[in-house]
Amino acid sequence: MKKQKFKVRHFRLIDGKKVEFNPYENEQLADKCKLALAFMITGKEHVLVNNR
């Protein structure tokens, strides 16, 4: 059986046009959304850490 690779891409609608964006570089994306995204990709629980 051939191994399949999948690429996860994220889009948002701006002025009726679909625009791709990177959620890790987007400051407007809430921290809870980043945690949910990490869980969906890895299947593991994550915790946000402030390294400042």
What is the reported pTM?
Answer: 0.44
Mark out the alpha helices in 1-52 (DSSP H runs): 31-42
Q: Average pLDDT over the chain, rounded to whole?
A: 82
19 lies in some domain? no
Q: Which of 29, 31, 11, 30 is nearest to 21 (CA)?
A: 11
- pLDDT, residue 37, reads 82
CA contacts within 13 A on the Cβ side of 25: 4
Average pLDDT over residues 8-37: 82
Average pLDDT over residues 19-42: 81
Residue span of the structural domain in which 35 resides: 28-52
Domain count, the chain: 1
Residues in the chain: 52
- pLDDT, residue 24, reads 74
41 lies in some domain? yes
More confident residue, 28 or 11: 11
Q: Which of 40, 15, 10, 43 is nearest to 28 (CA)?
A: 10
39 lies in some domain? yes
44 lies in some domain? yes
- The answer, yes or no, to whether residue 52 has pLDDT greater than 70, is no
